[in-house]
């Protein structure tokens, strides 16, 4: 008897471990998201503190325009002298800073890129608020003249350059590519490294010559306080002598402002990751509910005995919940540990795409631990509550009965609650679609969750046809073994359905994403097909703007009829940042077929603006209205001259002329060039000419229409790959759920397995039986998931039709593959339970109690 | 051991064919000092077409004997032959196929797969072998057990007696060489038990089925052709053409001897 008890305990340990594992994975996702974003935040804050001086002087609101487009405003050099003369200033240093300068490695590859900026500035010995120097020359000499540079250690290392080597650079200035000699290596003042950003140090006059037409100007000035002078005192003093449009701010305030801005961006990454953590947790909840339900059912006789011996309902309830508490606690603690590993993985992953966090710590903050534990414990307890309540309802007399039936809620009740939830969910989604921004998204998400839970509740009923259909197939293909498998999966519909529902949730999201992805790709194709007349497009591989010189050079290539430059920036309208494009309307007219809703492209001049139909709708613009657009240098009053359709070839919210944007204070940087060739020459001829212009500049690439479409689709694919990978964890948890359910079912049916073996079922047939049951569960989950995913996908595509996803595409083949892969996953999930069933000793199994 | 000496089934007409035979069968449990012999060198033949009961007190080894003969358990020493097939040395797969094709089972309880109908349960050993039952024989068996109107029912819709009758039908439908019944009436009321024993008897009389039944019950033993009494892992006595009273009488004698033996040993 002790042997049996011990065996039960071990078996239960494994079962509990499996459900604890679901908690581990879910909590790991939560903890990993926090740890990773904290690490990112720490690294960025380090950089911000390490580069901010006691008092920072810059054009007004400089930070507001830094995220998008290059602010072209400068400060005259004489201001530095004025500031240096202030009694509170120990030091004043003018800085020339330019973004978009990239180092090309010895292998002609771009260093960094794809996110982290390529920074260029002049060397000075300013001290940051951290008390350390912002820059220190480590080795070699400082650069002098136009043809020398210094690099930071990491960049030089990645590019493979030694002091004395010729370095190739890409710049957004007059020389799109240039060569310079590497004279020294500098060290950046912050601890956490540069997060993948590259640092190129030039001679001050060289920078001014390249980017500011040789004017003796600075982009910012750093002040160091004299002893006993506070940041604020020096700031106040500085503001009195500064020219109009230039302001001084305390270093602390600047650092805080920048940290907040970074924090907001990182909060987005965190939220994004946490959404997937949430999905995993929901799936894990199903697994825990199921495990505890089965455990309680298997122990029902024992629990009934306890009740018969005088244990109260509460005590039984509490006994089950205590078990859950222990599982939840262990799972959560382990989850935090695994989350740390996950964060290391994320760090490596982000490192691979250029966000180098090599030097950054992975901090486990108290908040991370608290949130992880609370989430893990709450989910486990919530999930165990229903089974525990049911356990307490077992009648004491059940102890005397042969077979103990668990009290179950009626199917009818489930159907009513389930369909109610589905209805509420759909309503919430509809409201969410109509609503705007974050609130709309949350409502849509909550609605989806409602539908998913509702369908899960109903799935014992709605899933039955799937199993029965599959069963008919099984009978034909596998005979009696198939019938047994089908009957086993119908035996406890709730259990099968709950197990399948976990997979259903994962598959719903996967199918949804695949439909959105396919629709987005098809929409891209269609937009390019319908509206792009330019044969060739030049764009930047890392989505960084490039020098307008390139457009000039291409114009002179033989066979090029016109080059339409397209720029983008983020000025403000009515206090919020908007997405504005700029172009030459005449050239664009030959590059794009732009079916205007109102007005025409030709009406666009330097005092006019075109708006997208969405923008017109949300802001209530009509032709003739005035739009006050706040650029870095000035606010321009522009007249609405036309409305173009949203989601077409023109993806910005507003369109102005190149001159309007430049006058407003943005440095001239192109982000796209549409090239139309003369009909007399072939595409390949023109290509050859343009390729010669672009040679040596790996950041700027030339594409024809198809390649351009492919590049955009490639980006969609990359995003999809990331989302699939993140959803993968939810699928893994769901698969664990199948393993768990099957293992428990096999234990429950020991006697029957023994009988089957006694009358001549071979081990192989037994394994097949378990496998087929597993496949039935997996396919049920996949089919329900794909059906819901298709419904959600079509709904979302309709809702996003005016956001650029205007063509619906349902990738049926891919969806079928998802179902097939799920079936395969079912086979894998069955491996261990099937082995266990086959290994059962026949004699022991048939004599077991 | 050569084949000719181990194939008595095809021996002369004078001697009856042997459906199963055990020779010097031993089965030990435990190890070292704690070793217990459940079977202590049993040799016995079961003649084809006979209904044999194996009786004995708890721990006499009767269940172990049946498990070893039915390819559910392996012997520690000695040999088991089913027909001319020696069981020793067969792997799990071969033993499984042997059970499926040559042996029928009726257990005390949990005889049926709950998810299958009566008919599916009856056909189970054949269908997992990928065979169809001979329709004529199937009808005969169904009519013998009287379950024709219950074929589409699941086990939980049948009474205990009906379930055992389905189990008997399953054991008989594949025309096994031998049927092993382990206390088939142990869980039944006397009327149902009598029914079940009735079919077993009839299948021997009408169809020459060989049946070996382990039982405690002298009344059940009274249905058989021969009763073998076991004690302490060896055959201690046997009775031909038994009646329930004769069996009861013999049991009393044997248990008295056992008590005396224990007393003498102590």
- Residue A815 pLDDT > 90, yes or no? yes
- The beta-carbon neighbor of B127 closest among A479, A758, A842 is A479
Distance CA A182, CA A103 (A): 11
Residues of A in contact with B120 (CB under 8 A): 480, 483
The region, left, alpha or beta by phi > 0 then psi within -120 to 50, assigned to residue B32 is: left
Distance CA B7, CA B14 (A): 15
- Residue A244 pLDDT > 50, yes or no? yes
A772 in contact with B, Cβ within 8 Å: no
- Averaged pLDDT, A486-507: 88
- Residue A713 pLDDT > 80, yes or no? yes
Q: What are phi and psi of A446, to 5 degrees?
A: -65, -40
pLDDT of residue A11: 61
Q: Measuring CA to CA, which residue among A848, A743, A774, A753 is closest to residue A10?
A: A743
What's chain B's Rg over C-alpha atoms? 19
Distance CA A358, CA A641 (A): 51
pLDDT bracket for residue A777 (50, 70, 90): very high
pLDDT of residue A309: 72
Distance CA A450, CA A454 (A): 6
A479 in contact with B, Cβ within 8 Å: yes
**Max CA distance (Å), chain A:** 102
pLDDT of residue B214: 92
pLDDT of residue B8: 43
- The beta-carbon neighbor of B96 closest among A480, A762, A846 is A762
Structure tokens at A704: 């024809």
* Record: contact B110-A479, CB cut-off 8 A: no
Distance CA A199, CA A51 (A): 13
CA dihedral A272, A277, A282, A284 (to 10 degrees): 160
pLDDT of residue A65: 60
- Averaged pLDDT, A472-480: 89
pLDDT of residue A431: 85
pLDDT bracket for residue A825 (50, 70, 90): very high
* Record: contact B120-A480, CB cut-off 8 A: yes
- The beta-carbon neighbor of B105 closest among A484, A752, A758 is A758
| Beta-carbon contacts of residue A158 (< 8 Å; ≥ 6 apart) | A105, A111, A112
A468 in contact with B, Cβ within 8 Å: no
- Residue A791 pLDDT > 90, yes or no? yes
- Averaged pLDDT, A202-209: 90
Distances (CA, A) of B57 to A797, B22, B217, B218, B258: 77, 20, 11, 12, 10
pLDDT of residue A436: 66
pLDDT tens string, chain B, 266 residues long: the values are 344 444 444 444 445 688 899 999 998 887 777 788 888 889 999 999 999 999 988 888 888 899 899 888 888 889 999 988 898 888 888 888 888 889 998 888 777 888 889 999 998 888 888 888 888 889 988 888 888 888 999 888 888 888 988 999 999 888 899 999 988 888 888 888 898 899 899 989 988 899 999 998 899 999 999 999 998 888 888 889 888 888 888 888 888 877 776 655 44
- Residue A187 pLDDT > 60, yes or no? yes
Residues of A in contact with B65 (CB under 8 A): none
Chain B interface, mutation test: which of A756, A760, A768, most B Cβ atoms within 10 Å? Answer: A760
Distance CA B211, CA B104 (A): 9
Distance CA A327, CA B177 (A): 53
Residues of B in contact with A758 (CB under 8 A): 70, 72, 99, 105, 107
* Record: contact B115-A487, CB cut-off 8 A: yes
A187 in contact with B, Cβ within 8 Å: no
pLDDT of residue A405: 54
Helix (H, G, I), strand (E, B) or coil at A424: helix
- The alpha-carbon gap from B109 to the nearest alpha carbon of chain A, in Å, equals 10
Q: What are phi and psi of A775, to 5 degrees?
A: -60, -40
Distance CA A551, CA A783 (A): 52
CA B238, distance to chain mean position in Å, is 16
Helix (H, G, I), strand (E, B) or coil at A569: strand
* Record: contact B96-A843, CB cut-off 8 A: no
Chain B interface, mutation test: which of A405, A475, A492, A759, most B Cβ atoms within 10 Å? Answer: A759
pLDDT bracket for residue A115 (50, 70, 90): low
- Averaged pLDDT, A563-573: 90
Cα–Cα–Cα angle for A776, A778, A782, rounded to 5 degrees? 115
A679 in contact with B, Cβ within 8 Å: no
Chain B interface, mutation test: which of A402, A474, A480, most B Cβ atoms within 10 Å? Answer: A480
User: Higher confidence at residue A136 or residue A513?
Assistant: A513
* Record: contact B116-A484, CB cut-off 8 A: yes
Per DSSP bridges, beta strands B36-47 and B211-214 are: unpaired
* Record: contact A483-B99, CB cut-off 8 A: no
| Residue pairs between chains A and B whose CB atoms are closer than 8 Å | 71
Distance CA A737, CA A565 (A): 55
- Residue A5 pLDDT > 70, yes or no? no
* Record: contact A488-B127, CB cut-off 8 A: no
pLDDT of residue A602: 85
* Record: contact B128-A842, CB cut-off 8 A: no
Q: Are A790 and A847 in contact (CB under 8 A)?
A: no
Any idea what DSSP says for residue B233?
T
Distance CA A641, CA A628 (A): 14
Question: Which residue of chain A is at minimal alpha-carbon distance from B174?
Answer: A759
Residues of B with CB under 8 A from a CB of A: 67, 70, 72-73, 92-93, 96-97, 99-101, 105, 107, 110-116, 120, 123-125, 127-130, 170
- Residue A398 pLDDT > 70, yes or no? no
Distance CA A156, CA A167 (A): 9
pLDDT bracket for residue A286 (50, 70, 90): confident
Q: Are A223 and A85 in contact (CB under 8 A)?
A: no
Distance CA A229, CA A225 (A): 6
Distance CA A680, CA A67 (A): 42
Give chain A's mean pLDDT.
85
Rounded to 10 deg, the angle between the A812-829 and A763-799 helix axes is 150
Q: Which domains does chain B have, with CATH numbers?
A: 50-71+91-265 (3.40.50.300)
- The beta-carbon neighbor of A484 closest among B110, B112, B115 is B115
- Residue A790 pLDDT > 90, yes or no? yes
pLDDT of residue A581: 92
Helix (H, G, I), strand (E, B) or coil at A571: coil
Question: What residues does A75 pair with on adjacent strands?
Answer: A218
Tell me the ipTM for this assembly: 0.85
* Record: contact B96-A761, CB cut-off 8 A: yes
Determine how many CB atoms are found less than 10 A away from the CB of residue A338: 19
């Amino acid at each position: 008897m002790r042997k049996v008890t011990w065996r039960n305990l071990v078996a239960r340990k494994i079962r509990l471990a499996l459900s604890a594992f679901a908690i581990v994975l879910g909590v790991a996702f939560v903890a990993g998201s926090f740890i990773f974003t904290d690490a990112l935040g720490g690294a960025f804050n380090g950089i911000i503190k390490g580069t901010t001086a006691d008092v920072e002087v810059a054009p007004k609101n400089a930070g507001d325009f830094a995220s998008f487009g290059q602010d072209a405003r400068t400060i005259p050099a004489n201001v530095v002298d004025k500031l240096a003369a202030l009694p509170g200033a120990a030091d004043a240093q003018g800085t020339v800073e330019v973004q978009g300068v990239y180092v090309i490695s010895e292998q002609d590859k771009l260093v960094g890129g794809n996110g982290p900026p390529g920074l260029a500035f002049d060397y000075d010995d300013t001290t940051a608020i951290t008390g350390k120097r912002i820059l220190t020359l480590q080795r070699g000499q400082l650069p002098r003249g136009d043809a020398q540079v210094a690099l930071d250690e990491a960049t030089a290392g990645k590019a493979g350059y030694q002091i004395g080597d010729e370095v190739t650079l890409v710049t957004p200035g007059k020389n799109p590519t240039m060569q310079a000699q590497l004279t020294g290596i500098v060290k950046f003042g912050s601890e956490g490294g540069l997060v993948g950003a590259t640092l190129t140090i030039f001679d001050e006059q060289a920078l001014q010559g390249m980017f500011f037409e040789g004017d003796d100007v600075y982009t910012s000035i750093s002040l160091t306080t004299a002893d006993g002078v506070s940041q604020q005192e020096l700031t106040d003093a500085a503001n009195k002598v500064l020219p109009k449009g230039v302001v001084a701010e305390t270093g602390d305030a600047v650092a805080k402002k920048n940290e907040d801005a970074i924090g907001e961006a990182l909060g987005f990454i965190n939220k994004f990751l946490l959404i997937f953590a949430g999905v995993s947790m929901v799936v894990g909840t199903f697994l825990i509910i199921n495990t505890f339900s089965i455990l309680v059912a298997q122990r029902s006789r024992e629990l009934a005995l306890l009740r018969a011996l005088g244990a109260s309902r509460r005590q039984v309830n509490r006994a089950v919940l205590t078990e859950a508490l222990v599982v939840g606690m262990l799972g959560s603690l382990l989850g935090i540990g695994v989350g740390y590993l996950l964060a290391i993985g994320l760090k490596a992953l982000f490192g691979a795409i250029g966000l180098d966090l090599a030097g950054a710590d992975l901090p486990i903050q108290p908040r991370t631990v608290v949130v992880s534990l609370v989430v893990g414990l709450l989910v486990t307890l919530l999930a165990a509550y229903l089974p525990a309540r049911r356990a307490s309802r077992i009648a004491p007399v059940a102890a005397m009965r042969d077979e103990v039936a668990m009290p179950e809620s009626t199917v009818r009740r489930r159907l009513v609650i389930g369909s109610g939830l589905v209805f509420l969910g759909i309503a919430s989604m509809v409201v969410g679609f109509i609503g705007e921004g974050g609130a709309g998204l949350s409502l849509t998400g909550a609605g989806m969750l409602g539908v998913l839970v509702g369908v899960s509740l109903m799935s014992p009923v709605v899933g039955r046809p799937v199993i029965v259909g599959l069963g008919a197939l099984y009978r034909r293909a596998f005979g009696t073994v198939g019938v047994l498998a089908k009957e086993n999966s119908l035996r406890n519909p709730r259990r099968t359905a709950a197990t399948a529902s976990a997979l259903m949730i994962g598959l719903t999201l996967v199918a949804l994403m695949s439909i959105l992805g396919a629709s987005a790709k098809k929409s891209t194709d269609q937009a390019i097909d319908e509206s792009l007349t330019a044969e060739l497009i030049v764009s930047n591989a890392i989505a960084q703007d490039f020098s307008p010189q390139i457009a000039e050079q291409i114009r002179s290539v033989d066979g090029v009829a016109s080059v339409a430059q397209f720029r983008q920036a983020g000025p403000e309208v009515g206090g919020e940042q908007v997405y504005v494009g700029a172009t030459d309307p005449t050239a664009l007219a030959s590059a794009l077929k732009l079916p205007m809703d109102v007005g025409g492209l030709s009406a666009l001049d330097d005092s006019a603006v075109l708006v997208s139909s969405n923008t017109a709708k949300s802001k209530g613009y009509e032709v003739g209205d005035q739009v006050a657009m706040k650029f870095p240098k000035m606010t321009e009053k522009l007249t609405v001259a036309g409305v173009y359709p949203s989601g077409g070839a023109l993806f910005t919210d507003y369109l102005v002329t190149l001159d309007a944007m430049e006058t407003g204070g943005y440095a001239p940087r192109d982000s796209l060039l549409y090239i139309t060739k003369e009909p007399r020459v072939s595409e390949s001829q023109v290509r050859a000419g343009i390729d010669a212009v672009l040679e040596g500049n790996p950041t700027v690439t030339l594409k024809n229409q198809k390649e351009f479409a492919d590049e955009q689709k490639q980006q969609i694919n990359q995003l999809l790959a990331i989302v699939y990978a993140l959803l993968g964890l939810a699928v893994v948890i769901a698969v664990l759920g199948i393993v768990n359910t099957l293992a428990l079912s096999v234990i429950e049916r020991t006697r029957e397995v023994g009988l089957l073996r006694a009358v001549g079922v071979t081990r192989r047939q037994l394994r097949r039986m378990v496998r087929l049951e597993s496949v039935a569960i997996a396919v049920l989950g996949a089919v329900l998931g794909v059906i819901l995913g298709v419904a959600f996908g079509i709904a979302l595509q309709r809702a996003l039709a005016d956001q650029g996803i205007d063509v619906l595409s349902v990738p049926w083949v891919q969806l079928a593959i998802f179902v097939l892969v799920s079936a395969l996953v079912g086979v894998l999930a069955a491996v261990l339970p099937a082995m266990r069933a086959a290994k059962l000793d026949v004699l022991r199994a048939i004599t077991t109690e | 051991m050569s084949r000719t000496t181990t194939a008595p089934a095809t021996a002369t007409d004078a001697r009856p064919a042997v459906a199963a035979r055990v020779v010097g069968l031993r089965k030990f449990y435990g190890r070292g000092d704690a070793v217990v012999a459940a079977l202590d060198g049993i040799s016995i033949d079961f003649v084809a077409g006979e209904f044999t009961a194996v009786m004995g007190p708890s721990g006499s080894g009767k269940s172990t004997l049946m498990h070893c003969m039915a390819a559910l358990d392996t012997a520690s020493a000695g040999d088991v032959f089913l027909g001319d097939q020696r069981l020793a040395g067969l792997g799990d797969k071969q033993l499984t196929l042997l059970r499926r094709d040559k042996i029928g089972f009726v257990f005390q309880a949990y005889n049926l797969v709950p998810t299958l109908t009566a008919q599916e349960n009856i056909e189970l050993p054949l269908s997992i072998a990928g065979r169809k039952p001979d329709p004529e024989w199937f009808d005969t068996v169904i009519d013998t057990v009287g379950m024709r109107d219950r074929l589409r029912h699941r086990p939980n819709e049948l009474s205990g007696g009906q379930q055992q009758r389905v189990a008997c039908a399953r054991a008989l439908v594949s025309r096994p060489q031998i049927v092993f019944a382990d206390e088939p009436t142990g869980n039944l009321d006397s009327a149902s038990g009598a029914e079940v024993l009735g079919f077993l008897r009839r299948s021997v009389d009408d169809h020459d089925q060989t049946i070996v039944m382990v039982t405690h019950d002298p009344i059940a033993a009274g249905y058989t052709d021969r009763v073998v009494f076991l004690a302490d892992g060896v055959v201690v006595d046997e009775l031909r053409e038994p009646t329930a009273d004769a069996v009861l009488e013999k049991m009393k004698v044997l248990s008295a001897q056992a008590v005396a033996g224990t007393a003498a040993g102590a």
